[in-house]
Amino acid sequence: MRRVRYYQYGGPEVLTVEDVDPPAPQAGQVLLRVEAVGVNFVDTRFRRGPGSGSIFERPLPGRPTGDVVGTITRVGPGGDARLIGRRVAALAEDAYADYAVAEAQWLAPVPENLGAGDASMLAMSAPVALRVLRSAPLRPGDTVLIHAAAGGVGHLAVQLAKLLGAGTVIGTARSARRLDFVRSVGADVAIDYSEPDWPDRVRAAAPGGVDVVLDAVGGPVLQASLDLLAPFGRAVVYGAATGKLEHVPVVSLFALRSVTGFNLTAWRRANPDEARREMDELTDLFAAGRLRATVHAGLPLTEAATAHQLIESRSHTGRVLLLPGGLGPGAA
Ligand SMILES: NC(=O)c1ccc[n+]([C@@H]2O[C@H](COP(=O)([O-])OP(=O)(O)OC[C@H]3O[C@@H](n4cnc5c(N)ncnc54)[C@H](OP(=O)(O)O)[C@@H]3O)[C@@H](O)[C@H]2O)c1
């Protein structure tokens, strides 16, 4: 089978397609024949190596993770053989491949009629988008500021904020094309946060301050966002795309503000039943067409480097997929 790894840190060109035997699932694991892989931003940072920032350190060889959609072909020792043949989504390591191993515990069953783009969101991106909103917690009528709203998690968070009853949703992104996209998925206001006066534009859209901020950008964007919070406003920090980990000045919280951190693994460990229930809830929303993933590009497996280029150049809107199973009509 084909598999993509990297053996040195660097640009997208270090991604290497190799021919290897399919992996064997261990106890508690399943083997998937991969139909599609959602490519995530964080893996572009891991690939660049430690220079990307201390939170992006991963050992070599690099084994990209990804949101795999596929069919179970084998189960590990002691596993439930009835799973074979089921279409599922899972976050997997060594995911850019024709076959990938995944933990059985966090498989998301995928209805047959769900496209690969929507399905690729079920294992990680959609659960993150929903839970960061609920961690705030978002309350009906709240004004919500969502940074990097044109990205994979971001464009789902905009839709989910509306579904959860948010009032005004403000999305940020760079470039006019991406701002149009942010509006098209339901944001009331879209603001270019590469412009230095972006906080003033948020203030103009939300004169009383924002109730909720979702941030996975970090650096000055996070710093400025804290000042935009209304009394009792809540910021949820779930990443740092800039690689800059800011200290949150305690004094900035005295104006009745709070900051919460979020990580999906920690959430699943802390409350596995609720985390599982939310995966089912999201599957129902996608199946009903109430939540939709936009697929920016569906590429052959051998073009993993192009997928990383698209994400690093910040030109993608929504999801970038690799399609080991082929580029058939239903692929994306
Ligand atoms: N905590 C968790 O459990 C968890 C799980 C999954 C993902 N995440 C985080 O969620 C965020 C979104 O993930 P995703 O895979 O959906 O990525 P994505 O949003 O599709 O891509 C990252 C986006 O970040 C923005 N960005 C801001 N500053 C950037 C910089 N200096 N360099 C590059 N991009 C920058 C870009 O949008 P603009 O060009 O419009 O600024 C870019 O499109 C990531 O930060 C990721 O680490 C966290």
Position 56 confidence tier, pLDDT thresholds 50, 70, 90: confident
Contacts of 272 (CB under 8 A, 6+ apart): none
- Extents of the domains making up the chain: 2-120+293-322, 126-266
**pLDDT at position 289 over 60:** yes
Burial class (CB in 10 A: 0-12, 13-18, 19+), 291: buried
Q: Which atom of ligand 1 is nearest to the CA of 41?
A: 15
What's the whole-number mean pLDDT along residues 125-152?
A: 98
> Using CA positions, which residue lies closest to atom 16 of ligand 1?
152
Chain centroid to CA 130:
11
**pLDDT at position 327 over 80:** no
Chain centroid to CA 284:
19
> Using CA positions, which residue lies closest to atom 27 of ligand 1?
217
Name the residue with tokens 């991963």: 58
Rounded to the nearest whole angstrom, what is the distance from the C-alpha of residue 217 to the centroid of ligand 1? 6
**Closest CA relative to residue 225, chosen from 244, 248, 195:** 248
Protein residues whose CB sits closer than 6 Å to any atom of ligand 1: 40-42, 124-125, 128, 148, 150-154, 173-174, 178, 216-217, 238-239, 241-242, 262-264, 311, 314
% of the chain beyond a pLDDT of 90: 92
Give the fold, CATH level 3, of 2-120+293-322. Quinone Oxidoreductase; Chain A, domain 1 (3.90.180)
d(CA 89, CA 101): 11
> Using CA positions, which residue lies closest to atom 12 of ligand 1?
153
User: Could you report the per-residue pLDDT of 164-182, keeping only the tens digit for each?
Assistant: 999 999 999 999 999 999 9
CB-based contact 298:331 (threshold 8 Å) = yes
**pLDDT at position 328 over 90:** no
d(CA 168, CA 189): 8
Say what the pLDDT of residue 7 is: 98
Say what the pLDDT of residue 329 is: 47
Ligand 1 site-directed mutation target among 52, 153, 177, 311, most atoms within 8 Å of CB:
153
Rounded to the nearest whole angstrom, what is the distance from the C-alpha of residue 21 to the centroid of ligand 1? 33
Please give the mean pLDDT across all residues of the chain.
96
Rounded to the nearest whole angstrom, what is the distance from the C-alpha of residue 241 to the centroid of ligand 1? 5
Q: Which atom of ligand 1 is nearest to the CA of 243?
A: 31
The domain covering 126-266 belongs, at the CATH homologous superfamily level, to NAD(P)-binding Rossmann-like Domain (3.40.50.720)
CB-based contact 302:18 (threshold 8 Å) = no
d(CA 41, CA 308): 8
d(CA 20, CA 223): 46
d(CA 145, CA 168): 9
In the chain, DSSP finds a helix count (H) and a strand count (E) of 10, 15
User: pTM for this structure?
Assistant: 0.97
Q: Which atom of ligand 1 is nearest to the CA of 316?
A: 43
How do strand 99-103 and strand 29-38 relate by DSSP bridges?
Answer: antiparallel
Task: Give the largest Cα separation in the chain, rounded.
Answer: 59
> Using CA positions, which residue lies closest to atom 9 of ligand 1?
239
d(CA 299, CA 91): 19
CB-based contact 93:66 (threshold 8 Å) = no
CB-based contact 280:107 (threshold 8 Å) = no
Asked whether the CA dihedral 285, 289, 293, 299 is positive or negative, the reply is positive
> Using CA positions, which residue lies closest to atom 11 of ligand 1?
216
What's the whole-number mean pLDDT along residues 129-147?
A: 98
Tokens in use for 243?
Answer: 């690689």
d(CA 65, CA 127): 16
User: Could you report the per-residue pLDDT of 188-229, keeping only the tens digit for each?
Assistant: 999 999 999 999 999 999 999 999 999 999 999 999 999 999
Top mean pLDDT of 50-59, 108-117, 238-247 is at: 108-117
Rounded to the nearest whole angstrom, what is the distance from the C-alpha of residue 216 to the centroid of ligand 1? 6
